Amino acid sequence: MKNVLITGGAGFIGSNFVRYFIKHYPDSNVVVYDKMTYAGNEENLADVMGNENFKLIKADITEQEVFETVLAENNIDTIVHFAAETHVDRSIEDPEIFLQSNVVGTFRILEAVRKNPNIRLHHVSTDEVFGSLPLDQMEVKFSETTSYDPKSPYSASKAASDHFVRAYVNTYGIKATISNCSNNYGPYCYPEKLIPLAITRALHDEEIPIYGEGNQIRDWIHVDDHCYGIDLILQKGKIGETYILGGHGEKTNKWIVSKILELLGKDEGLMVHVGDRKGHDERYAMDFSKAKDELGFAPQKPIEERLKETAEWYKNNQEWWQDSKKVADQIAEKYLANRI
């Protein structure tokens, strides 16, 4: 991994991985390739901009010729593919953007790798491709053999991109792996997602919308643990294999918001129940025993400790999120108009 290209490297998970990679592989060259949509921000990379081994290229992964030129000019030997539209509610309102970015974009990358068979590709995906687990069967978890059952345009687009990667491994013999992770949280997450939304609105003493009764269960993984898991896959993962990455953080949405309010010393009355989302999955849970046994993967800290760290980061870095909060607030206020 001498010359690594990271798509979506200015986004939440991507920028955290950039910092992780530069810290652990200081002799490698890192090229971030990012379209810079609303969730991509140069400020996410401010602390690495001056690194002589770092380069930022603003471009769209759907632009085949541009992408292939960047690969050639930088002698890229490894691609870590984060670039994607990821917000479920946005996918319901405008699914075509998700088709273009997540499916067509991944296809363009695969075509480039097919032409450059020495490049190693890791494709980052989500647990949402598996659909939903029942609340009354807590012993059941998603694994690498779980059938796909996407419930939203977002998860359908990610499922399609996963299948394209597998098809290119089987058809063309490209060197690729896939990871499906649970819900990420941590520094630099755009305020439209549940945890940063709750933190940023609580810090302003504003109401926090929560779907239905808030009993939906998600497995949460801190972004640092996710980056660590991807590193292990790049180092030890078998070509063509898929790895589940989870955080041992199964909690209801209501518990998450309640815990955040407790950590910030805010009143529970800020949590407001609103009408549920269309096709809302009930529960996600991850069986990451394969990654544990084959790669040595395990989350480094419990969710309670990680949530405290995350709340402190947002409290101490308000200049980073104040502007983006305005857009997230528009979404939140729309939900609050449908309170129950």
Catalytic positions, written as ranges:
127-128, 154
Residue 252 burial (CB count, 10 A): 17
Name the residue type at position 35: K
Cα distance between residue 1 and residue 185, in whole Å? 27
CB 197 within 8 A of CB 208: yes
* CB contact at 8 A, 85 and 96: no
CB 291 within 8 A of CB 244: yes
CA distance readout (Å), 178 to 88, 133, 229, 275:
21, 21, 11, 34
User: Rg of the chain over CA atoms, in angstroms?
Assistant: 19
Characterise 178 by phi-psi region: left (phi > 0), alpha (psi -120 to 50), beta (else). beta
How many whole angstroms separate alpha carbon 1 and alpha carbon 235?
Answer: 9
Sorted by sequence, the CB contacts under 8 Å of residue 314 that are 6+ apart come out as: 196, 199, 200, 203, 321
Identity at 313, one-letter amino acid code: W
State both tokens at 60: 């769209």
